[in-house]
Amino acid sequence: MAQHTVTVRGLVRQFGDRRVLDDLDLVVRQGEFVALLGRSGSGKSTLLRVLAGLDREADGETTVNGTVSVAFQQPRLLPWRRVWRNVSLGLHGVDARSVADKALAEVQLTDHAQAWPLTLSGGEAQRVSLARALVREPDLLLLDEPFGALDALTRLAMHRLVDDLWQRHRPSVLLVTHDIDEALALADRVLVLDEGRIVAEHTPPVGRPRRHADLTELRTRVLADLGVTLDEAA
Amino acid sequence: MLSGAWRWLSPVGLLLLWQIASGTGILSEDKLASPTKVLAAGIDLATSGQLGDAFVVSLRRVLLGVAVGAVIALALGLTAGLSRWGAVLVDPPVQMLRTLPFLGLIPLFIIWFGIGEEPKIALVALGFAFPLYLNVYAGIRDTDPQLLEATAVLGFTRWERLLHVVLPAALPQALVGLRQGLGVAWLSLIVGEQINADAGLGYLINNARDFLRTDQVVVGLVVYAGLGLATDALVRALERKALRWRNTP
């Protein structure tokens, strides 16, 4: 059996009286792409922060095997460092420039290596952020609603890019999102988080790239898990 | 739209009025010399070498004062900004001292340093240090926590975070402090040079006053103003270079 990249058991995170994560269990297998769906306030970002090591106040057992990298909702680039430096800074013992150039080529931003981050569009900045996360060759890639601030067309292009990069590098991925279509298009497994627990699990059809038409029925079921019936939605 | 050249209309007009008032005797030379006389006095002082000598002496005082003030302000600002204990220990006394009218310290400075170069340099250093300290400290404190968090996850060492996140983040604010500090530094110099100066622009002005040479007094003032403008332009140029990442189209 393949080793698990993430093993979480009985995870509890409390802010005051509020249990944001309530006895949560989660396993992410090596090379698996897992999407975590939930409304705002369901605890999905808190879970990601715990896995990233940014929140050390949680109780329970959390094991992450290997290195972790994160792409956040905002690209969080250093505006005073050129794009290629943003990709390679913090890497040690490598030829920074060539490693950065290779990563930027993968996200089709070779021409922007020398640019200042503030000159990039939202989609370009997010691609730099992805390149920066991937160049560290993480065993676990955490994506915190990284396409939430992008327009619909750019978001679709980003989905293809992430799918592509994941197939090439095969890290385990945990994608936190509230976009059902995004989750269904990309993930091997879609988990629905509500009130700090995983309340449902779905497995989209295996083939990639997935066609929207094949997902209609599953989409309805996931929506129901999130407490939205189509009558209501209409 | 009126072109920018028209903005010169009223200043030049005022200059002409001044000249006319002097020429017709409405403005006596004892009170204020005419623009042409000021110009002549300026050329005179410049060719005799007096103005150049005074200029060098005053510039030296400001440069030394600014250098001393910068070392103090950066040391304190970095200490307070980068460590919690530093902030607790350094910031309260500095904030208290800041409320002192520092020009009022001149009597103490004369007692401590005498009447030579030292009290003048110390006054400049003190005037320069406060704005720089406050802005360096505030700049470091305002570093975007999201960037610190992101770089921590990406495996930056403490030193890398300081070098690539904290210090660059504080730089715009620190440059604001530099500009404010330089403004205060010139002011401190002008006040400091009133104490028993035997050289420098302040001495030149005081000397001229004793002989009712209002033309020479105005020359001194114009040079002070020019120096202030020049340092301001210098810092702006520095800003454009250091902060070019945010001025790009």
CB contact under 8 A, B245 and A80: yes
**DSSP labels, chain B:** ---GGGGGHHHHHHHHHHHHHHHTTSS-TTT---HHHHHHHHHHHHHHTHHHHHHHHHHHHHHHHHHHHHHHHHHHHHHHHH-HHHHHHHHHHHHHHHTS-GGGGHHHHHHHHTTSHHHHHHHHHHHHHHHHHHHHHHHHHTS-HHHHHHHHHTT--HHHHIIIIIHHHHHHHHHHHHHHHHHHHHHHHHHHTTTT-SSSHHHHHHHHHHTT-HHHHHHHHHHHHHHHHHHHHHHHHHHHHHTHHHH--
Residue of A76, A78, A136 with shortest CB distance to B155: A136
pLDDT in tens, B190-218: 888 877 778 899 999 999 989 999 999 99
Can you give the pLDDT at residue B35?
92
pLDDT at A210 over 80: no
Size of interface A-B (CB pairs under 8 A): 61
Which residue segments constitute the domains of chain B, with CATH numbers given?
Answer: 35-243 (1.10.3720.10)
CB contact under 8 A, B154 and A78: no
B-proximal residues of A, 6-65, CB under 8 Å = 52-54
Q: What is the DSSP letter of A2?
A: P
State mean pLDDT over B170-196.
91
In contact, B15 and B35? CB cutoff 8 Å: yes
Q: Taking CA atoms, what residue in B is nearest to A76? A: B147
pTM, two decimals, is 0.83
User: Percent of chain A, pLDDT > 90?
Assistant: 49
Q: What's the one-letter identity of residue B152?
A: A
A-proximal residues of B, 136-155, CB under 8 Å = 146-147, 149-155
Model ipTM value: 0.85
Q: Taking CA atoms, what residue in A is nearest to B161? A: A90
Using a CB–CB cutoff of 8 Å, tell me whether B113 touches chain A: no
Whole-number Å distance between alpha carbons of A7 and A19? 20
State mean pLDDT over B209-236.
92
Only one residue has tokens 């698990």, namely: A4
Whole-number Å distance between alpha carbons of A72 and A175? 10
pLDDT in tens, B55-79: 999 999 999 999 999 999 999 999 9
**Residue A167 C-alpha, separation from nearest chain B C-alpha, in angstroms:** 22
Whole-number Å distance between alpha carbons of B36 and B16? 10
Q: Which residues, in sequence order, are bridge partners of residue A62?
A: A8
Residue of A118, A132, A133 with shortest CB distance to B248: A118
pLDDT at B241 over 80: yes
Question: What mean pLDDT, rounded, does chain B reach?
Answer: 91
Q: Taking CA atoms, what residue in B is nearest to A88? A: B154
CB contact under 8 A, A91 and B155: yes
pLDDT at A2 over 60: no
